C-alpha cells in the first residue's frame, strides 16, 4: 500500500446519491483476480458502450476530468453489496480520495484497508464544494492534506475533516493490516518463545 500524505487534483463532482457497488464495478467482473486490474471496468455500464467505446455523457469521459484522482460525491456512496472489488477498481483507475456526506459501511471500511481515503463532510459543506468545482471545472482543483486533515478547493474553500487516528497512521505509513501485524514481529516472537517454554507439551515432538 502506498503512503498517503497530500493529494492535489482536478476533482470530479458526482452529485448522484446512492452510487452502489454494482454501479462502481458490475458483478459479472468479480471473478477476475485483483492482478488483472479492475480500473478498466470502473463504472463500466455507465462509462462505456457495449463495443467498449466511451459514452460522451458520462463525467469520467469528459474534459478536464479524465486525470482526476478525487471524487466529490453525494450521500451514501458505495452502498449495496459487500465487495472490496469496488475499492480495487477506484484505486486501479487512479482515484485516491472520495468525499461524500455518507458512505456504505462496508465500502467505507474496505477503503481504508486498500489505501483509498474516504472523507465525510456535512451535506451543506459538500454541496458548496461541488458547486465551486462545477462553476469552473478546469480550475476545480482540490487539495487534501491528510497530515493537517484539511481540504482546500476553488473559491477559497477550506474545511477540516475527521479521521480515526489509527487509520490515519496506517495511510500515512502505507500499512495494510498484514504490514501492521508485522510491526509487532519482535513481540510476537517473544510471545511464541515464552508460550513454547511454558507449554512445551503442546508442541509436536521431533521424529
Q: How far apart are CA 140 and CA 64, in angstroms?
A: 9
58 pLDDT tier (thresholds 50, 70, 90): very high
Position 125 scores a pLDDT of 97
- For 62-133, strand residue ranges (E) read 70-72, 97-100, 117-120
Q: How far apart are CA 95 and CA 109, in angstroms?
A: 16
Residue 153 contacts residue 137 (beta carbons within 8 Å): no
The DSSP bridge pattern shows strands 70-72 and 97-100 to be parallel
* Assigned CATH topology for domain 6-174: Aconitase; domain 4 (3.20.19)
- pTM, two decimals, is 0.88
DSSP secondary structure, 147-179, as one string:
TTTEEEETTTEEEE----HHHHHHHHHT--HHH
C-alpha cell at 44: 463500466
196 SS3 class: helix
pLDDT in tens, 89-135: 999 999 999 999 999 999 999 999 999 999 999 999 999 999 999 99
Q: Where are the domains of the chain?
A: 6-174
Question: Per the omega criterion (within 30 degrees of 0), is the bond before 170 cis?
Answer: no
Position 193 scores a pLDDT of 72
Position 180 scores a pLDDT of 65
Reported residue count of the chain is 207
- For 15-137, strand residue ranges (E) read 70-72, 97-100, 117-120
pLDDT in tens, 168-207: 999 999 887 776 666 667 777 777 777 777 777 667 776 5
Amino acid at each position: 500500500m502506498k503512503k498517503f500524505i497530500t493529494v492535489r487534483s482536478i476533482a470530479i463532482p458526482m452529485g448522484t446519491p446512492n452510487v452502489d457497488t454494482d454501479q462502481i464495478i458490475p458483478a459479472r467482473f468479480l471473478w477476475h483476480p485483483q492482478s488483472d486490474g479492475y480500473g478498466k471496468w470502473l463504472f463500466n455500464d455507465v462509462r462505456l458502450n457495449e463495443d467498449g467505446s466511451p459514452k460522451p455523457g458520462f463525467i469520467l469521459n469528459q474534459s478536464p476530468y479524465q486525470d482526476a484522482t478525487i471524487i466529490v460525491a453525494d450521500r451514501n456512496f458505495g452502498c449495496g453489496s459487500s465487495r472490496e472489488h469496488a475499492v480495487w477498481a477506484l484505486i486501479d483507475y487512479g482515484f485516491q480520495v472520495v468525499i461524500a456526506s455518507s458512505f456504505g459501511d462496508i465500502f467505507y471500511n474496505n477503503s481504508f484497508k486498500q489505501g483509498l481515503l474516504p472523507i465525510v463532510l456535512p451535506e451543506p459543506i459538500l454541496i458548496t464544494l461541488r458547486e465551486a468545482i462545477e462553476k469552473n471545472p478546469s480550475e476545480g482543483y482540490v487539495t487534501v492534506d491528510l497530515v493537517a486533515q484539511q481540504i482546500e478547493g476553488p473559491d477559497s474553500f477550506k474545511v477540516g475533516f475527521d479521521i480515526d487516528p489509527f487509520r490515519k497512521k496506517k495511510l500515512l505509513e502505507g500499512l495494510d493490516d498484514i504490514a501492521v501485524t508485522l510491526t509487532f514481529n519482535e513481540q510476537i516472537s517473544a510471545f511464541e518463545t515464552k508460550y513454547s517454554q511454558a507449554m512445551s507439551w503442546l508442541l509436536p515432538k521431533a521424529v
